[in-house]
Each structure stands twice: as structure tokens, then as C-alpha cells.
Structure 1
Amino acid sequence: MCHTAVSARSIPGQGVRVSALRVWAPSVSRIRVRADGQDADLQAADDGWWTGPDLAPGTDYGFLLDDDETVIPDPASRRQPEGVHGPSRMYDQDAYDWRDAEWVGRDLTAAVVYELHIGTFTPGATFDAAIERLEHLARLGVTHVEVLPINAVNGIWNWGYDGVGWYAVHEPLGGPDGFKRFVDAAHGHGLAVVLDVVYNHLGPSGNYLPKFGPYLKPGRNTWGDLVNVEEPAVRRFIVDNALMWLRDFHLDALRLDAVHALQDSSPIHILAQLSGEVDDLAAELGRPLTLIAESDLNDPIMITPREQGGRGIAAQWDDDVHHALHSLLSGETQGYYCDFGSLPVLEKVFTRAFLHDGTYSTFRGHDHGAPVDRDTVRGWQFVVCLQNHDQVGNRAVGDRLPEIASPGRVRIGAVLLLTSPFTPMLWMGEEWAASTRWPFFTSHPEPELARLTGEGRVAEFAGHGWDVSQMIDPQDPAAYREAVLDWAEVDGDDHAAVLDLYRSLIRLRADEADLRDGDLRAVSLDYDEDAQWLVVHRGAFRVAVNLAATEQAVPVAAKQLVLATGPARPEADHVVLGPETAAVLRT
């Protein structure tokens, strides 16, 4: 096992649990541990491993490599109370008193996911503050809460993707016990918890792994040096981390960040190894454990079973559905939206998951993706959204959909998303059309890194065609403050009406199997591109949409109006819809 506390035991007669040190460091010839003001040598074992003395929970410690007197943290530290450059602290995973013994878990087959960032979900910016809003999520009707990365990162506030302490929980959020309280409370509300984990790169500050051994390899991806996933010990480091979150923190699922950036030529891909070991743990624990991949490859190999040569991941994000909906609703067709925005595109993604499934991608300049086998793949295996942290935060000013699309079209988007054959995901605040922006923000303590971060984002956004003159510096504390949700908005008339719509749609989806049916072969669309109307066929239901700015009759035979976002009048063979109105009808 790669993590430091390979075993925990109690000292007879004392009741004190201690953990033995173990670390993989093939690049050094000597390792000492400094704890309680004393240094002790670790002993070399096989294949670059070192073992050391027992340490009690609460002990602060660090490593000294070779003859360097600089104390550095443990690569697999469970706590970094003084930040990523400070000493590690021994943590007893078994000390927390869990209250979720009755929790049996939830899979994705009938899920509605809610994505949030702990640091901006509430003004309190901690797990305990977020617990106070779990009742809101339970009443909303979502089933899974997806938390952006929480591992140790330099600075105070950050999106989480600059993490370097993969095994530690960021202390300003509440540390490991705070996260356990959050998971425990979520389960008490009937909510499963998904954690976003990042294994494709490490952050720019506090990454000490290269001092210990070849955790990285030559080459770079979008975010930094490549992780050396072909090395068995590094693979173990990653897999054990995933198992830790699921086992010790009682998580229900992990969302794997940008798996296309994991370059692995091994006979068994690391994702296949990971999914196999997660399945084994699920069988051991007796509850479902789910992996969700974020992949830019548009390749169903991610969700293809391992025995068929796939990665065995349960589900994957599907950006093509987001792009189709976003472009249709907002009218934006620049950058990577350039192939999207039409009703034929929406028809393809709603029936075949990907627009680019071996077809030419104008933005990429080459053929992209592979087709989905609709006989074996189900819609719930694709997580889709109108907004998420990337699609909002990676805009120049972090503006949300309600700022760039009309209120009518925002409501249309909610209806299409929550009656789709996929697993819908909401971005925090979306359910009440939050007006707060969510720009990119950092709090790097190093001035040079702060400067480079800001310059890099300006160049990236300018290349996308956005006006960067209004962009806020990521290091400006105002960027962070602007991102915090304003919960006072929820009770405002316009916001409350949107919230009521989302609650009604989620309840309808839960009540009606046809509206969560993931058989893509059973989905069809009628539409008129010139008139700007469409009808989605969902079993006994028809989702009729008028995107035009004037009232019009949409041809659909339906007996009962179930829900509408504006004026709607069913007739014998059509429904009259007001401007920018969607309606759900039963045949």
C-alpha cells in the first residue's frame, strides 16, 4: 500500500492507536523523519520503499531527504494543518463516530446531481456551513451532491484543481473531520456524495513528489507535468487514494477529472485497474460505489465493460449535450461552440449522446470521437448539464446562463435538461437562476505565480474571442467574493418562480419512469428549424418547445398539459405555446 499509515494498531494497555510510516522514495539514499523534535532514520525496504517508526495520532512530523535539513511533508499526509508547506499530522481514520449505519447508498440510474464548491456555496465557506443548506437540496429533490476538489492546496481559496496533498483535506474548509461530518449529514438527508478528484496533474505550489521519486514523467498536458501512471507505485498511490475516499470517508462516487490527460501505455489502463478495485470494494462494503469520468475524447470506451476491453467506468460527462443546449439557448457559436446551436444538432445529441462520434470537429480541425452503441449503453451513463463550474468559470467574467440568455430560454433549458434521457446535473444556484457570477479565482501566496496565473487566463480568454477588458484578476479577493452564492435571492419573486419550476421538474422526473428512461433508441425529435419549435418524444410524454419570440402552434397530439413555463393551450392535434415557452404534455 502506498499511503503512509499502512497499518494502525493500539498499544496494549494504553488504548493509543499508532501508525507505522511507509513511503516510496527510490530517488533518495537516506530518509529521516522529524517528530516531537527528534529525528529517526527510516529503513530501506524493497523496490524503493522505506519504513519508519510508529507515530500516534496528532503527532506532527516531516521528512528530511538525504543530507538536506529542510523538513518536507509526507507525500500521502492525511492532514496539513499549517498548509501544504508545513508539517504533516498523523490522523486516525477510525476515530470519527459515524451515524450513517443505515445508509445503503445510491447509484446513478435515477439520479439528479448537484455540483457545488464548498468555498463559495455559502458565505461560511466550510463543510459545517454547507451542512446548513443540505435541507434545501433535499427539498429540491436532487439525489447526489458533487463536491469540487477538497484536497490540500496552497493558499486559502481555490477552485481545488491546484491540489498537491491528494490524501489531505484542505484545512480552511474544515479538515478531514469536517468533511466526514458533511458526508454523514448528507446521508442523513438521503443524499449521496460525489467527490471530484484530480489524478492527471499536480498544482504549481507545494508539489514535493519529485523529490521522493519518479511520480512524474517527461511531457506535459494542459495543466502541467504528466503523472507517471505506468510506474506501479504511482498507480498504487492513485488507486489507494480513491479507495480511501470511498472507504474511510463513506463517499458514494468519485468524479475523475480530465481522464484524457492520463497518458497510460500499460497493458491494463489505470482506469480499468481503478474501476476493478472500486467494484471489489463495493462488493466488500455492500453498497454501490460509482466512478464518473470527465473525458474530452467522446469515446464510449470509458463506459465499456472491462471484459470487453473498456475502462469499466460507470458514467462519463458529456459536454456535447451542454454545448448543444447552451448554443441553442444563448446563440453563442464561437470557439468550441462553433458546430453547435441548431435543432438537428440537438436531435443528434439527444438520441446518440455525442455530436462528434467520428465526425469532423471544426474547432479541433480533425475527426473526433466514436459512436455510442445504443443497444448496450444507457442514457444515465452520460452526465449532462446546462451549466457547471467549467462552463461558467472558464468564461472571461464567469457569467451564468441567465446573464446571456432570456428568462424564457433559461426555463426552456431547465425543461429540456430535466426531461432528457441522461443524468442531469445542476450547478449550484442554477435552481433559482442565481445572479452571482463565478469567475476564476486563486490565492497563490507567491507573487510570481500569481502574476503568471493572471496573464495566462487573459491569453486563454482572448483566444476564445471574449472581451477580456472586463475580466477580474484571479488573485483579486473580489474575484472570490463575487463567486459566493447570495442565498437572500432565493425568496425573491423571480428567483422563487424558477426554484419552483426546478422542484416541479425534478419531482416529475422522479415520479414518471418515461421521463428518466435512458433508452436512447426510444427518444425521437420533431422540429422546424425555421419556425424554431421542437418536440421531444419521451414515452407517454411530449416535451414541446417554442423558441420563437411570438406565439405559435406546435404540432403535437397530447391529452393533458402537465407543466408549462408560460402560456400553453393544448388543442386536438397541436399545442399553442406562448413566446419562448416549453410544455410537458401527456398523450
Structure 2
Amino acid sequence: MSHTFAVWAPDATSVDLVLVRDATGPDDGTRTARAMARADGGWWQLAVSAAGHGSDYLFAVDGGDPVPDPRSAWQPFGVHGPSRLFDPSRHRWSDEHWRGRDVRGALHYELHVGTFTPEGTLDAAVERLDHLVGLGVEVVALMPVAAFPGRWGWGYDGVHLFAVHDPYGGPAALQRFVDAAHARGLAVSLDCVYNHLGPSGNYTSLFGPYFTDRHHTPWGQAVNLDGEGAAEVRRWICDNALRWFRDFHVDALRLDAVHALVDDSERHVLAQLAQETAALADGLRRPLSLVAESDLNDAVMVTPTTEGGLGMTAQWDDDVHHALHALLTGERQGYYADFGSGEVLRTVWREAFWHAGRHSSFRGGDWGRPVPPGTSGHRFLAYAANHDQVGNRATGDRPAAGLSAGEVAGSLALVLTSPFTPMLFMGEEWGCRTPFQFFTDHQEPALAESVREGRRREFAEHGWDADQVPDPQDAATRDASVLAWDEVAEPTHAGLLGWTRDLVALRRREPDLADDDLAEVDVELGPPDETRDDGRPEWLVVHRGEWRVVVVLRTSRADDDATEVPLHATGRVERHWGPVRAEGRTLRLEGPGAALVRTA
């Protein structure tokens, strides 16, 4: 057993490898320091004959305190403790017949490992994979698993990009999870955060210029992608991404807030990553996907690099969410100000973006660019909920907490029959009412208080009662966010689950309902709902080939309990939520609900 330790520290005059033997905690064990040798390109190396899988170590730069490896694969003692070597080849994979899956058009299911089950581990999540198979999920989208401070958290303050959060089970557990998913025909997407690191446990600047003052982001200094030393920082990012594909058999990466990857290089780091991912996919002979979260509303994100684009496979589309959420809830605050009308939803369903050169009142100027004709709708992920749009509300309340079951059914119908790539947020399939709140587990008192007060102050500025904002450091906040799986046994939730399964099955079976041609979509709007003052239509009908997706939005009408929706053709109701009756070319629905009609 032997291992060559290596670390990039271009400006250091000395680097010591600190081996930690027989450690049972971050601060014990026998430590032995050995000088490393300078190598090419600012790297330092040292071969150790008695080191291998399970060996614990740290690095000390220029005689400073020993700290973890910036490329640590395993942090069993937390983000401040020693790193541990991990040999990915020890896992005996059983997915030799897995041929991968292109994520475009496939049903995604976003889940947070720490609250998907009460145990909050990857192994416990495996026990729920059969539920996802029965639902018709095709891509399991994990929120970040990179090592972050404390026991619980969302993972977007991760600081060890190559490590898997140890309370989730560590790197071996992620391999087991992916293997188990593939055995069930499920692809796995992993959320990666390359635009910033968290404030606790980030030691990268002790080693080299990982960050720069040349650019700034909402989190402070930007990652150094175009300054001195940027080549190795870009390799740090690209090597990390390729490692998940190669050593963990992950099928896709969701790249967080890529608009904050500020890069003035001739070749943007996203284009570099797209090209290297494509090369690896050719070598592995299976599709590998990159799904971007972008605030830019610019289809250059999903345009191939050969055509001058950034080469992402697909991107999240918040305009779809905003159009749907504002229409259903009537909320118009903040970035919902320009959304909420039926006309906005119709435009988004046909053009992918509302802000496509239009004025954005939230941003104070024109925003976005039109999607070029012929762009596949499957390049854009559609959702009525996700971790951001639920968890970044003051109380973490889900749409289902304020909507009727019929409105939830209508929301599911619109997303799952859209021309986009659909995504559900864990529990949404049964109209889950438990919140998904923001929670942390910082051990530094000052940082914990800063996060707590910052959260309260932010929502107070937006009109919320600060006393209603859950304390992110309180363990009860995490506990309240754990999925209530026993809800599924309740009649309404069971009914919504069955409705979701039916919609997914229809989308898979009926080409018209999965078609990606935005130009072939039409949305017919009913008259304004007189029970509201926001101009919301009583109903809308999405035309999908020979199918009509009918959604009734109104809550009540004094003179008649039923809403009449013209179909302009005779049709057969294939699936419906709520009392429905077809009368010739007219459909009658009593109260909020939805129906899928195949026209003659």
C-alpha cells in the first residue's frame, strides 16, 4: 500500500504533509509532519509507502496550522478536521448494463438527502427509491452533498467539493445510492456549487488564488476563473465534475447559479466543462448531462459550443415557475411583480421566457433574450416548486399549504404535460403540506447568530413578521422539514399521488403530451374570474396536439357551481380531478380541478 500526496500551493515556500494515525476525532491521534517536495506548476508532492484508503492527513503551508486538503475526498471529522483518503475502486459496481439517460424530457425529482427520510442518509433514501420508480421518475436530482459545516444544512455552504458529507454516509454511501438507483432504471443528478464556498471550513486561500477581488458575487469574492493561477482553479472545478461522472457513475450535474461564475476568458469555464464532459461521455459510452441554474434568460446557455454557446444540456427555467405560481396564488411581490396573468403563462409556454428582452420591474431594466426558433422545449426544466422557491420563503411553506387540492391538481397537470422537461420537488406528488425551511448547524456562535439575524432582517425588509421566521439553528426547524410520508395514506393525498402517476404515465405513452416543439403549443384563456381582482382567468386550456389540458382556477361562483369550458371539438375525458362532465363540445367542471381530454 502506498500513495503519493499532492497539493497545489504555487506561492508557498514550504508545505508539510501531516499524517494523523489512530484518530477517533478531529483533535486526537498521533501527528507526524513530513516535508513535501516542490513539483511543476506550483504543485507539491510526497510519496508515502504506508498510506492508502482510510489514511488521515492534513497539509501545513509555510509552517502554518495544519488544514484539510482542498481536494479532500472524505471529511469524517467535519469540515475542519483531517482529510481521509478514499479509494473509489473498492466499490463493486453492479450497473454494468446501465447505458445512461439523456435528462432532456425525463421526469426529474429533486430531493434533499437530510429531510427525504427521518434518518437523513443516502442509505435510508435508497429504501424510498421504489416509490420514485412507481411514480415514473426518471432522474433523481440530489441537492448538494459536498461536505458542509455541522450535521444538517441545505448544502449550498459546502467547502469541500470533492468530499461527500459524512453524516449522509460519506463517499461510499453515494456510490451505493447511485448503484441502487441504476438497478431500478433511475438516473442520478448531483447538485454542484462552483460559484462560491461557505464561510466555515474554507481553507483554499491558504493554498493559492482560488478567489479574486477582480470580480464580486452576492457571496463576496468571485472564484478566480480568469486571473493569475486561474488555469489550476478551472482544473479544480472540471476535475471535480468529471470525478462524479467517472468514479461515482453519476449521470448529470446540476450547476448552481452559473451566472455568478464570472469569467472574461476567451473560453468560458462552462464551455470548457461542456467539452470535457462530452469527451468523457464518448469514452464511457453513455450520455452525461450538465443542467445549469441561470438567471440570465439567455438560450446561449443551452446552445452547443460548436455554435458559440456554453454547451449546457438544459437549464432551470424560473419564468415557468413564476408564471404558474403567481397565477395560482395571486402573489405579486418581489420578482412575481411582472407575472400572474394568463397572458404571461401563455407566452412562457410558447417562448420559454417572459423576460426575453422585456422590462423587468424587479431588476429595473430590460432583461433576457428571445429563445431562437426551433429550440427544444426540453432544454428547459419546468417546476411548480423546488428547494429555492419553497425554502426561501419566510416560513418555508409549500404551494399546497395555501392552495386547494383542485388547484394543486391543476398545477401538476400543467407541469407534467408541458413542452418542457418536468421536475417535481420531493413530496409534491401527493400535495405534501410539511414545510421545507432553511436550516443550518454552524458550530461557531458568532456565525450562527449572524445567519439567524440575517434571515430575520431579510424577511422583515420584505414585510414579513420577523417572529414568524424559523430559527435556522434550531434542530426543530430541520425536523419540521422532514417529509411526512404518512400523509400518503390520507384520502386527498392518496388521490393526488394517483393523479400524478396517471399524468406521468400519459406523458410517457402519448407523444403529443411529451412533444418539445414550443411553436406547436397554444394556451386558450377563459374570461376573468369575477371573484378576484387580479384579472386571473376562470380557466385555461393548453393545446397539445389532439389533447386538451383543461385547468379550472376559480374557487366559486354565486350563480352556478359548474364552470363551462368550450373545447371547440368533441372529446373524451381520459383523466380528471374533480367532478367533470363532457357535453358535446363543452366541458363542465365543478370547482377548481383539471381534465385531460383527447379530441376527435
TM-score tier, shorter chain, comes to over 0.9
Task: Give the conservation status (yes or no) of the 8 Å contact 2:110–2:426.
Answer: yes
Amino acid at match of 1:432: W
Q: What is the CA deviation profile of residues 276-315 of structure 1, one whole-angstrom value per residue up to 9, with x for unaligned ones?
A: 0000010000000000000011111100111111101010
Rounded Cα–Cα distance in structure 2 between residues aligned with 1:385 and 1:345: 16
Q: What is the Cα deviation at residue 85 of structure 1?
A: 0.7
Q: What is the Cα deviation at residue 480 of structure 1?
A: 0.6
Q: 2:553 aligns with which of 526, 541, 547?
A: 547
Rounded Cα–Cα distance in structure 1 between residues aligned with 2:212 and 2:445: 27
SS of 2:446's partner is helix
Amino acid at match of 2:576: A
Rounded Cα–Cα distance in structure 1 between residues aligned with 2:347 and 2:500: 25
Rounded Cα–Cα distance in structure 2 between residues aligned with 1:224 and 1:52: 34
Q: Where does residue 72 of structure 1 map in the other structure?
A: 67
Q: What is the Cα deviation at residue 529 of structure 1?
A: 4.3
Q: 1:40 aligns with which of 34, 39, 58?
A: 34
Residues 1:30 and 2:28 are matched in the alignment:
no
Moved more, 552-561 or 119-128: 552-561
Q: What is the Cα deviation at residue 248 of structure 1?
A: 0.4
Q: What is the Cα deviation at residue 23 of structure 1?
A: 1.3
Q: 1:434 aligns with which of 409, 432, 435?
A: 432
Task: Give the conservation status (yes or no) of the 8 Å contact 1:164–1:207.
Answer: yes
Q: Where does residue 245 of structure 2 map in the other structure?
A: 246
Moved more, 559-568 or 113-122: 559-568
**Residue pairs, 1:122-161, within 5 angstroms:** 122-161=117-156
Rounded Cα–Cα distance in structure 2 between residues aligned with 1:380 and 1:110: 5
Q: What is the CA deviation profile of residues 390-426 of structure 1, one whole-angstrom value per residue up to 9, with x for unaligned ones?
A: 0000000000011122221111101111110011110
Task: Give the conservation status (yes or no) of the 8 Å contact 1:292–1:313.
Answer: yes
SS of 1:94's partner is helix
Rounded Cα–Cα distance in structure 2 between residues aligned with 1:466 and 1:258: 26
Rounded Cα–Cα distance in structure 2 between residues aligned with 1:44 and 1:465: 56
Amino acid at match of 2:135: L
Rounded Cα–Cα distance in structure 2 between residues aligned with 1:565 and 1:276: 45
Q: Residues 215 and 440 from structure 1, CA distance in 2 versus in 1: closer, same or farther, beyond 3 angstroms?
A: same
SS of 2:90's partner is coil
Rounded Cα–Cα distance in structure 2 between residues aligned with 1:72 and 1:433: 45
Q: Where does residue 533 of structure 1 map in the other structure?
A: 539
Moved more, 59-68 or 277-286: 59-68
SS of 2:99's partner is coil
Rounded Cα–Cα distance in structure 2 between residues aligned with 1:415 and 1:187: 28
Q: What is the Cα deviation at residue 544 of structure 1?
A: 1.4
Q: What is the CA deviation profile of residues 423-471 of structure 1, one whole-angstrom value per residue up to 9, with x for unaligned ones?
A: 1110001111112111100000000001111111122222333333211
SS of 2:153's partner is coil
Q: 1:410 aligns with which of 391, 408, 411?
A: 408
Q: TM-score, normalised by structure 1?
A: 0.95
SS of 2:41's partner is coil
Q: What is the CA deviation profile of residues 130-152 of structure 1, one whole-angstrom value per residue up to 9, with x for unaligned ones?
A: 00000000001110000000011
Rounded Cα–Cα distance in structure 1 between residues aligned with 2:364 and 2:463: 17
Task: Give the conservation status (yes or no) of the 8 Å contact 1:546–1:581.
Answer: yes
Moved more, 120-129 or 41-50: 41-50
Residues 1:61 and 2:60 are matched in the alignment:
no
Q: What is the CA deviation profile of residues 38-72 of structure 1, one whole-angstrom value per residue up to 9, with x for unaligned ones?
A: 3221111223111122331111111111122x211
Q: Where does residue 571 of structure 1 map in the other structure?
A: 583
**Residue pairs, 1:224-243, within 5 angstroms:** 224-230=220-226, 231-243=230-242
Rounded Cα–Cα distance in structure 2 between residues aligned with 1:79 and 1:109: 32
Task: Give the conservation status (yes or no) of the 8 Å contact 1:157–1:443.
Answer: yes
Rounded Cα–Cα distance in structure 2 between residues aligned with 1:529 and 1:208: 59
Moved more, 191-200 or 46-55: 46-55
Residues 1:273 and 2:284 are matched in the alignment:
no
Q: Residues 275 and 181 from structure 1, CA distance in 2 versus in 1: closer, same or farther, beyond 3 angstroms?
A: same
Amino acid at match of 2:484: D
Q: Residues 465 and 374 from structure 1, CA distance in 2 versus in 1: closer, same or farther, beyond 3 angstroms?
A: farther
Rounded Cα–Cα distance in structure 1 between residues aligned with 2:484 and 2:372: 43
Rounded Cα–Cα distance in structure 2 between residues aligned with 1:573 and 1:251: 48
Rounded Cα–Cα distance in structure 2 between residues aligned with 1:269 and 1:276: 11
Amino acid at match of 1:508: L
Q: 2:382 aligns with which of 377, 384, 388?
A: 384
Q: Where does residue 510 of structure 1 map in the other structure?
A: 508
Task: Give the conservation status (yes or no) of the 8 Å contact 1:534–1:544.
Answer: yes
Q: Where does residue 401 of structure 1 map in the other structure?
A: 399
**Residue pairs, 1:81-92, within 5 angstroms:** 81-92=76-87
Rounded Cα–Cα distance in structure 2 between residues aligned with 1:82 and 1:235: 28
Q: What is the CA deviation profile of residues 103-124 of structure 1, one whole-angstrom value per residue up to 9, with x for unaligned ones?
A: 1111123300000000000001
Q: What is the Cα deviation at residue 364 of structure 1?
A: 0.8
Rounded Cα–Cα distance in structure 2 between residues aligned with 1:558 and 1:42: 79
Q: What is the CA deviation profile of residues 232-269 of structure 1, one whole-angstrom value per residue up to 9, with x for unaligned ones?
A: 00000000000000110000000000000000000000
Q: Where does residue 188 of structure 2 map in the other structure?
A: 193
Rounded Cα–Cα distance in structure 1 between residues aligned with 2:433 and 2:401: 7
SS of 1:387's partner is coil
Task: Give the conservation status (yes or no) of the 8 Å contact 1:321–1:354.
Answer: yes
Q: Residues 315 and 558 from structure 1, CA distance in 2 versus in 1: closer, same or farther, beyond 3 angstroms?
A: farther
Q: Where does residue 107 of structure 1 map in the other structure?
A: 102
Residues 1:452 and 2:447 are matched in the alignment:
no
SS of 1:220's partner is strand
**Any gaps of 5 or more consecutive residues in structure 1?**
1-15
Task: Give the conservation status (yes or no) of the 8 Å contact 1:141–1:507.
Answer: yes
SS of 1:47's partner is helix
Q: Where does residue 112 of structure 2 map in the other structure?
A: 117
Moved more, 549-558 or 534-543: 549-558
Rounded Cα–Cα distance in structure 1 between residues aligned with 2:405 and 2:340: 18
Question: Sequence identity, in percent?
Answer: 52
Task: Give the conservation status (yes or no) of the 8 Å contact 1:536–1:542.
Answer: yes
Amino acid at match of 1:536: V
Rounded Cα–Cα distance in structure 1 between residues aligned with 2:517 and 2:463: 38
Task: Give the conservation status (yes or no) of the 8 Å contact 2:405–2:492.
Answer: no
Q: Where does residue 335 of structure 2 map in the other structure?
A: 336
Amino acid at match of 1:34: V
Q: What is the Cα deviation at residue 545 of structure 1?
A: 1.8
Rounded Cα–Cα distance in structure 1 between residues aligned with 2:588 and 2:256: 44
Rounded Cα–Cα distance in structure 2 between residues aligned with 1:460 and 1:393: 14
Moved more, 490-499 or 207-216: 490-499
Task: Give the conservation status (yes or no) of the 8 Å contact 1:335–1:465.
Answer: no
Residues 1:221 and 2:217 are matched in the alignment:
yes
Rounded Cα–Cα distance in structure 1 between residues aligned with 2:356 and 2:285: 36
Q: 2:592 aligns with which of 565, 574, 580?
A: 580
SS of 2:46's partner is strand
Task: Give the conservation status (yes or no) of the 8 Å contact 1:200–1:259.
Answer: yes
Q: TM-score, normalised by structure 2?
A: 0.93
For the aligned residues, what is the CA RMSD?
Answer: 1.1
Q: What is the CA deviation profile of residues 173-212 of structure 1, one whole-angstrom value per residue up to 9, with x for unaligned ones?
A: 0000011111111111111000000000000100000000
SS of 1:461's partner is helix
SS of 1:570's partner is strand
Task: Give the conservation status (yes or no) of the 8 Å contact 1:558–1:585.
Answer: no
Amino acid at match of 1:554: V
Rounded Cα–Cα distance in structure 1 between residues aligned with 2:74 and 2:7: 16
The aligned length equals: 569
